């Protein structure tokens, strides 16, 4: 029996995230979004990021025994919705560590989990973030034909070559969220026995941030290109201790995190809807509020409908991921696709409801529209996720 009612603890965390988002993030989001040089964003956002770190948002997935929140997927989902409603970019910066720590939870040995979770949570600086680097300039090279046979194959150029007690890592990664401000980066690299994840402390010699991306939206989020120039990591940093587990771990990350991204998209759509709804009541033309023009009223009703439907599907996927022993990869993918497509439509319509004012930077909705676009692209493009879901349907999964 599906139950979407939240526990008292979940409501408390939701309220904390909402208050933090609305009182601390939202008032500065527009100003941060307008900073022309992306390198200057982090120093100006640092204080609010530190507050989010103190509240534990990067550590939601870390089990309580290590000092994390030990949150279930529904809790993580409601937090992503609240942070996404405040600012999608900062939601990404604060949330991405959970994707990286999830890799350790899915594949890490007990010793690896203990070491890295405790290192993160005992950090005194208050800014221990983790990033996750899979994407490469030539793409991940995912073989979509192999998916029809139930296989996951990648063509990675980043290599990890064993050499005695160490691995030597060489290659490039691109579009990496928080890669320029994280303390550790979980990197997917090709070993002789297949793709594998490695924990790389970002102060390791040869780990270079070569570019900070200047983006259309999510401008408050740190997003970078990375270069690995003969980076040496000890063998103990190979997640799971065995080569060739990276594809399994990557599919597990998508299986869980796509529902989180869906929740972020719902929050973003909600923010645009709330702005458009209020504007449509206040903007008076021909002596009536524009919501009473049927064309506008129907847009507002459609926004509400798409948000409710997207949230219901996202929560269904989160619930499934909480109750099943393995991630519900198909449902998570479908929830992410549906919610991000809904966010794109809702934010675009919000600009339409505002008319010419919606196109102006002094109003909030053009930013929401720019922010929404990448939710259809990151964590698997919506095309790739639709293909993944269709192969799972074909295979009866």
Ligand X SMILES: Cc1cc2nc3c(=O)[nH]c(=O)nc-3n(C[C@H](O)[C@H](O)[C@H](O)COP(=O)(O)OP(=O)(O)OC[C@H]3O[C@@H](n4cnc5c(N)ncnc54)[C@H](O)[C@@H]3O)c2cc1C
CA-to-CA distance for 88 and 205, rounded, in angstroms? 32
- The residue assigned the tokens 């900073």 is 35
Sole binder of ligand X in the list 337, 384, 389, 392 (CB under 6 A): 384
Sole binder of ligand X in the list 32, 62, 83, 133 (CB under 6 A): 133
CA-to-CA distance for 196 and 176, rounded, in angstroms? 17
Using CB under 6 A as the binding rule, the residues of this chain from 339 to 378 that contact ligand X are: 374, 377-378
| 224 contact partners, CB below 8 Å, separation of at least 6 | 176, 179, 180, 209, 210, 211, 212, 213
Query: Do residues 350 and 269 touch, judged by C-beta distance below 8 A?
Result: no
Using CB under 6 A as the binding rule, the residues of this chain from 93 to 112 that contact ligand X are: 96
Q: Indicate which residue of 172, 225, 366, 379 is catalytic.
A: 379
Sole binder of ligand X in the list 381, 393, 394, 397 (CB under 6 A): 381
CA-to-CA distance for 94 and 342, rounded, in angstroms? 23
Q: Is 366 a catalytic site residue?
A: no
State yes or no: residue 230 binds ligand X (CB under 6 A). Answer: no
State yes or no: residue 144 binds ligand X (CB under 6 A). Answer: yes
Rg of the chain, C-alpha, whole Å: 21
**What does the angle CA 336 – CA 261 – CA 366 come to, to the nearest 5 degrees?**
95
Span from 66-74, 157-165, 172-180, 324-332 in contact with ligand X (CB under 6 A): 172-180
Span from 67-75, 112-120, 328-336, 383-391 in contact with ligand X (CB under 6 A): 383-391
From residue 227, alpha-carbon distances to 133, 200, 208, 380 in Å are 11, 12, 5, 22
Sole binder of ligand X in the list 58, 380, 388, 392 (CB under 6 A): 380
State yes or no: residue 139 binds ligand X (CB under 6 A). Answer: yes
Distance of CA 352 to the CA centre of its chain: 27
User: Is the CA virtual torsion 145, 147, 148, 149 positive or negative?
Assistant: positive
Distance of CA 73 to the CA centre of its chain: 14
Span from 40-48, 101-109, 158-166, 171-179 in contact with ligand X (CB under 6 A): 171-179
> Could you please report the per-residue DSSP string of 300-324?
HHHHHHHHHHHHHHHHHHHHHHHHS
Sole binder of ligand X in the list 55, 105, 176, 224 (CB under 6 A): 176
State yes or no: residue 218 binds ligand X (CB under 6 A). Answer: yes
Measured between alpha carbons, how far apart are the two ends of the chain, in Å? 20
Minimum gap (Å) between residue 294 Cβ and ligand X: 36
Sole binder of ligand X in the list 10, 135, 204, 390 (CB under 6 A): 135
Minimum gap (Å) between residue 85 Cβ and ligand X: 18
> Number of residues in contact with ligand X, rule: CB under 6 A?
22
Using CB under 6 A as the binding rule, the residues of this chain from 24 to 53 that contact ligand X are: none
Minimum gap (Å) between residue 153 Cβ and ligand X: 12
Binding site for ligand X (CB under 6 A): 96, 132-135, 139, 144, 175-177, 215, 218, 223, 374, 377-381, 383-384, 387
List, by residue number, the catalytic residues. Answer: 379
């Amino acid at each position: 029996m599906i139950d979407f009612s939240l526990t008292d603890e979940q409501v408390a965390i939701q309220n904390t995230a909402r208050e933090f988002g609305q009182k601390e993030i939202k008032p500065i989001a527009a100003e941060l979004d307008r900073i022309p040089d992306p390198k200057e964003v982090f120093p100006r956002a640092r204080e609010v990021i530190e507050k989010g770190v103190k509240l534990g948002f990067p550590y939601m997935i870390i089990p309580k025994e290590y000092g994390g929140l030990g949150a279930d997927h529904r809790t993580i989902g409601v937090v992503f919705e609240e942070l996404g409603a405040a600012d999608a970019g900062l939601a990404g910066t604060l949330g991405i560590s959970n994707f990286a720590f999830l890799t350790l939870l899915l594949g890490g040995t007990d010793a690896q989990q203990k070491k890295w979770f405790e290192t993160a949570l005992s950090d005194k600086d208050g800014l221990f973030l983790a990033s996750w680097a899979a994407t490469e300039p030539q793409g991940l090279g995912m073989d979509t034909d192999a998916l029809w046979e139930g296989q996951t194959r990648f063509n990675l150029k980043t290599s990890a070559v064993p050499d005695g007690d160490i691995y030597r890592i060489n290659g490039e990664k691109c579009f990496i969220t928080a890669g320029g401000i994280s303390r550790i980066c979980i990197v997917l690299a090709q070993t002789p026995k297949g793709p594998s994840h490695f924990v790389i402390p970002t102060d390791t010699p040869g780990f270079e941030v070569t570019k900070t991306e200047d983006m259309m939206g999510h401008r408050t989020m740190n997003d970078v290109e990375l270069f690995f120039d003969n980076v040496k990591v000890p063998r103990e940093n190979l997640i799971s201790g065995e080569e060739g587990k990276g594809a399994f771990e990557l599919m597990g990350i998508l299986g869980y995190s796509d529902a989180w991204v869906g929740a972020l998209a719902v929050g973003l759509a909600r923010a645009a809807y709330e702005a458009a709804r209020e504007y449509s009541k206040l903007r008076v033309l021909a002596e009536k509020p524009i919501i009473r023009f049927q064309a506008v009223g129907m847009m507002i009703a459609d926004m509400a409908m798409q948000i409710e439907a997207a949230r219901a599907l996202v929560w269904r996927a989160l619930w499934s991921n909480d109750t099943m022993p393995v991630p519900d990869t198909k449902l998570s993918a479908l929830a992410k696709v549906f919610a991000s497509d809904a966010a794109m439509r809702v934010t675009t319509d919000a600009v339409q409801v505002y008319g010419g004012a919606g196109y102006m930077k002094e109003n909030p909705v053009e930013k929401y529209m720019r922010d929404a676009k990448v939710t259809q692209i990151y964590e698997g493009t919506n095309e790739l996720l639709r293909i993944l879901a269709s192969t799972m349907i074909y295979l009866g999964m």
